[in-house]
Amino acid sequence: METLPILQASLAFLLGLALLLLFKLGRTPSVKPPPGPLGWPIIGSLLQYPHGLTPQALTDLTASYGDIFMVKLGQLSTVVVSSPTLAIDVLQTHGVEFGARPRNLLFDVLTSKGQDLVFADYGDHYKKVRRICTPPFFSGKAIQQCRQGWEEELTITMDTMRQLPDAAMSGIIIKDHLQMLMYSLVYRMMFSRRFSGPEDPLYMEIMRLNANSRQIIVNSKKNNRIVNFFPCLKPFLKSYLDEVRSANRKRLTFFKTTFIEGLIKEKEGRAKVGVDPILDAHAKGELSDDTVLYLIQNINVAAIDTTVWVMEWGVAVLVNNKHIQETLRNELDSILGKGIPVTEPDLARLPYLQAVVKEVLRQHMVIPLLLPHQNLKPAKIGKYDIPARSKVLVNARGMANDPKYWKSPEVFDPTRFLDANIEMSGNDMRFMPFGSGRRSCPGMAMAVVVLSLALGRMVQEFELLPPLGKVKVDMKPAGVLVDAHILAEKSKVVLKPRDT
C-alpha cells in the first residue's frame, strides 16, 4: 500500500511528459516562435513563475534568452523585446498590427472593455477619443493656456512647505505635497477647480474613492493573477469582479454628480474648462455617457499618479546627489537670477535642468515596459512568429539602462544628455519613457513641463537634504512590480530654505 502514492505520482509524471511530447510534436514546423522556457500544457510556465513576470523573472529570462523571449503563463503568451531594432518592429514598423491592448478581465471591468483612451484597441474609437482629448490636454496650446495656473499652484505648494515646522527640521513626506500639487494642477485644468489643502472635503473624498478602488485590487492579488492567467475562469470570480465594478461605478458616479452635471447645466454662463471638448462631443452623440467618465478617470489616475511617481524619484535623486543639485541651482541662479521663479518659457534656456529631467526619466522610468501591446492576428517580430493575441511588452527601462547602449548607466549623470542630442520623443528606442509610435503617451509634453518646473522651483527655494541621522534617502524600488517602477517607501526630505 505504501507504494501507491509513488505509483500515482509516477503515472502523473509520465502522463504529463506524454502530453508535453504530443504538444511539441504537434507544432507546425514552419512556425518559429521566440525562444523561451519550455512550459507545460494548460499552465505554461506558472510553476517556475507563480507570481507572473516579476522584475527578477524579467531579469532572469532576459539573461537566459536575450533580446526577445516568449513565456506562456496560463492561457496567455507574453513576448518581451529588449533591443531597439525589435522595438521599432513592434512600435513603428508593425505599429498597427501590435496596436491593440491585451484583454484583461480587471481592466475590462474598469473601462467597459476599452471604452476609454488608455486601454482602447487601436482603431476608430481610439483615434476619435485621442483627437478629442489632444487640443484641451495634450497640445502646446493647452500648456500655454494652463501654465500660469500651474505656476501659481507651484508657488502655493512652495509657500505651504516652507511654513511647515517640520520641513526644515525633521523633514516631511514629500510625496504627499507633490500629490496635492498634481491634483490641483490637473483638476484646475479639467474643471477649473482647485483644492485648498489636504483637508479639503472634495480632495478627501477623491482620495477615499481612489483608495477604495486600489485596496480592492491589492487585497485580491490572488484573484488578479487567476483572471490574468486563466480568463476562462471568469464565471467563478463573479463576486470579486462585481466588487471591482461597484467600487469603480461609485467613483464614476462621483465625477458625474460632482463635476459633469454642473458643468453641463451651467454651460452658457461660465468660462470654458478643459473637459468642454469632451462634453461637446458627447452632446453631438460622438461619445457615450460612460466614455466621458472613462476619459476623465484616465486623466484622474494615469496622468496624476505617474507624474507624482517620477517627481518623487527626481527629488530623491537630487537629495542623494548634492553636487548635481548644486550645479542645477547655479544654472537657475545664473540664467534667471536668484529668487526669480522658473516659468515654462524659461525651460528652453536651461539645458542642465532639461538634462536632469531626462536622466531622471532614463534611470527611473515609472512604466518600465510601457503599456502592453497585442496583435489580434499572427504577426512577426524580427525573424520570429508571434501567435495571435499575444501580450507584447517593450522593455524600455531595460534598454535605457543597458551598458550596450549607455556608458555607466548605473551612474546618475545628466551630462550624458549635454554631450549627445538624445530626445525622448520616441525616435530613439534607447530612450523612450513615453513610448513611441501610434500608442505613445499623449501626455508627454505636459508631464515634462510639470516635472521640470517642480524640480526647478524646489531647488531654487530649498536645499534638499536627507532627514536627520541619514546620509541619503532610501531609493529602494518596490520589488514586486514589473509594470510600475516606484519607491518602496515614501521619501522623507528636509527642505532648508535658502534665505536662512
Q: Which residues sit in the known binding site for heme?
A: 441
> To which residue does cell 483572471 refer?
227
Distance (Å) of CA 108 to CA 11, 202, 236, 254, 290: 40, 28, 16, 20, 13
Greatest pairwise CA separation for the chain in angstroms: 88
Q: Which residue has the cell 513610448?
A: 435
Contact between residue 182 and residue 153 where contact means Cβ atoms under 8 Å apart: no
Residue 134 burial by Cβ neighbours in a 10 Å radius (0-12, 13-18, 19+): middle
The β-bridge partners of 392 are 79, 373
Q: Which residues are annotated as a binding site?
A: 441
C-alpha–C-alpha distance, residues 375 and 96, integer Å? 9
Cβ neighbours of residue 132 closer than 8 Å, sequence gap 6 or more: 277, 278, 281, 286, 287
Residues 6+ apart with CB under 8 A from 338: none
> What residues are paired with 393 via a beta bridge?
80
Check if the beta carbon of residue 456 is closer than 8 Å to that of residue 350. yes
| Residue 79, φ and ψ in degrees, nearest 5 | -115, 130
End-to-end CA distance of the chain: 83
Q: Distance (Å, rounded) from C-alpha 299 to C-alpha 296? A: 5
DSSP state at residue 27: S
- Are the C-beta atoms of 26 and 380 separated by less than 8 Å? no
Distance of CA 11 to the CA centre of its chain: 47
What is the DSSP track for 407-430? Answer: SSTTS--THHHHHS---SSSSSTT
Q: Residue type for 169, please?
A: M
Angle 488-302-371 (CA atoms, 0-180°, nearest 5)?
85
Give the pairing of strands 76-81 and 391-394.
Answer: parallel
The C-alpha atoms of residue 314 and residue 316 are separated, in whole angstroms, by: 5
492 HSE (CA, 13 A, CB side):
11
Cell 476562462, residue located: 232
